[in-house]
Chain A
């Protein structure tokens, strides 16, 4: 499993403050602790929701430069704005990065996919179209098929694509857990070389005992074909759940990683 650490995200109020005040020390602390916890990528989302587009571009440049000076872990450059993605990619100094993300809509695809080609870096493709997040499996797979076509035109290989099936809270629509799981399965079947990535915690929004809900969902998703997770890498329940799933799926010879994880805690 590939893990993407979620905490450098300016929608979290404390992180928003770090970005706005250019607090290098606290930014690096977030980067270091998540890197040490075993993250394969550090997500960097600097969209504070209040500044201008130029503010977000400047913030992305700053954050990417600061983190990469001190931490080896590759970054997952995260923005809904292609220009912010471009700024982050340009600032990353030739190091590997994951582009997060494009939707399955023409306008977005035509700006983001060329970035993946230009910089030779993988990208996340969201299973959504112009109208938003589709309610059905078929429509989510259709949005991904559109991403596949644009990638083919731009000669971006499927092994460089991470599909995000998207997750809506089960508390507001009880069918949504299954829609995501079946989307994962369908995507894995149709596009075998592509990765599947998902943010785990959204599914349990509005429900009690979220950690139990999240780990159960994570396990089912891994069985369905999920190979990358955006999550709180500092949460031992979730990281332990990943090790558990890897062992059960037969990908952890002699259960070495599973046993070592608990031994080292």
Chain B
């Protein structure tokens, strides 16, 4: 297959949310055709550069997925499938990218704050960030403020994402931001927050940089912040 055709096929399969050949896509009729894993491997074998595969194949098409999600054509599982496909491609590409000396776009620490066990939205954000070239440190759910701050410090992370789905637990974001200030990290770490009860007003109130509605809003914010 020609380089351009391969990259296009990878992009199409990301939009279809197909990790491997046996997966069915969003539309009918894709089964048993090569999907992201097979196509990324073929692209590497053909000598296409890992960064081209990443940018022109894997991540550019996530914009399409984002649009489809926004218009309601795609549902949560469709978006998850696409994010999974990007993640699978990334797993293959990462060692090649490292070898080629391509740097990640930066470390992004992400966590659901203390007392809160919700993780679906946080996981979607984590996968999408990984796909977009960030090095994601996912601390999971119910993470105490002290641990989040330690991790930011340890990795010297320029970005932190906090999630909470309850009105009672969103208050715990406050503690994280205060802790960052106390540790002298607030100026070097940009903080975004998300989760159903949160808002830009709330972000302003606790001194976070940004409130994001979904994973695509996080990517837009990062693009603007870079």
Binding site for B on A (CB under 8 A): 253-257, 259-260
Where chain A touches its partner, the secondary structure class is helix
* B195 on interface, CB distance cutoff 8 Å: no
Contact B28–A254 (Cβ < 8 Å): no
Query: In the complex, which residues 77-99 of chain B have their Cβ closer than 8 Å to any Cβ of chain A?
Result: 77-78, 80-81
Contact A253–B23 (Cβ < 8 Å): yes
Contact A260–B75 (Cβ < 8 Å): no
Binding site for A on B (CB under 8 A): 17, 23-26, 28, 75, 77-78, 80-81
Q: Chain B residues with Cβ under 8 A from A257's Cβ?
A: 24
The chain B residue sitting closest to A247, CB to CB, is B77
The chain B residue sitting closest to A263, CB to CB, is B73
A248 to chain B, nearest CB (A): 13
Q: How many A-B residue pairs have CB under 8 A?
A: 21
Q: Chain A residues with Cβ under 8 A from B77's Cβ?
A: 254-256, 259
Q: Chain A residues with Cβ under 8 A from B26's Cβ?
A: 256, 260
Q: Chain A residues with Cβ under 8 A from B80's Cβ?
A: 254
Known pairs A253-B23, A254-B17, A254-B80; A259 contacts B75 (CB<8 A)? yes
CA distance A253 to B17 in the complex (A): 11
User: Can you list 18 pairs linking A and B with CB atoms under 8 Å apart?
Assistant: A253-B23, A253-B24, A253-B81, A254-B17, A254-B77, A254-B78, A254-B80, A254-B81, A255-B75, A255-B77, A256-B24, A256-B25, A256-B26, A256-B77, A257-B24, A259-B77, A260-B26, A260-B28
A110 to chain B, nearest CB (A): 42
Q: Chain B residues with Cβ under 8 A from A255's Cβ?
A: 75, 77
The chain B residue sitting closest to A259, CB to CB, is B75
Contact B28–A259 (Cβ < 8 Å): no
- Top 4 nearest A-B pairs (CB, nearest first) are A254-B77, A254-B81, A255-B77, A256-B24
CA distance A255 to B77 in the complex (A): 7
CA distance A239 to B79 in the complex (A): 25
Q: Chain A residues with Cβ under 8 A from B81's Cβ?
A: 253-254, 256
Q: Chain B residues with Cβ under 8 A from A253's Cβ?
A: 23-24, 81
The chain A residue sitting closest to B27, CB to CB, is A260
A198 to chain B, nearest CB (A): 27
